[in-house]
Amino acid sequence: MKVSFLLSLAVGVILIVAAAVLWMTLDSLGVFDSLSKTLKDVTGSDTTGGLNLMDYVGFGKVMSFTVLIAVVDVVLLTALATLSAFIYNTAAGFTGGVELTLAEED
């Protein structure tokens, strides 16, 4: 369980960092500005300003959602890996498991 927790924690951190790097890259390339301008042109009228994309995909909202997904990922991966190890150990106890003999070459 300890090993699966640490590995799933590493996956969660990688997920958060990857989402942050991807968002910053898209922002620096001007993707969000271009999409916001297009959406404002399409959805805007004389009385309203149109739809603002950054209200939905701002850095804070994206990172909050990513942290939530990472926490769920850590909990589920730890539980599934622990359950899988338990099932494997139980099956190996019934069947004798896989026997592997290692020998040194002379």
Rounded to whole angstroms, the Cα distance separating 32 from 48 reads 20
Rounded to whole angstroms, the Cα distance separating 72 from 68 reads 6
Across the range 70-76, mean pLDDT stands at 96
Burial tier of 74 (Cβ tally within 10 Å: 0-12, 13-18, 19+) = buried
Give the confidence band of 52 by pLDDT, cuts at 50, 70, 90.
Answer: confident
User: How far from chain centre, in Å, is Cα 10?
Assistant: 10
Does the structure show a pLDDT above 70 at 45? Answer: no
pTM of the shown model: 0.77
Mean of the per-residue pLDDT values of the chain: 89
Question: Which residues lie below 8 Å from residue 13, measured CB to CB, with a gap of 6+?
Answer: 70
Across the range 34-52, mean pLDDT stands at 74
Q: Which two tokens stand for residue 25?
A: 């890259």
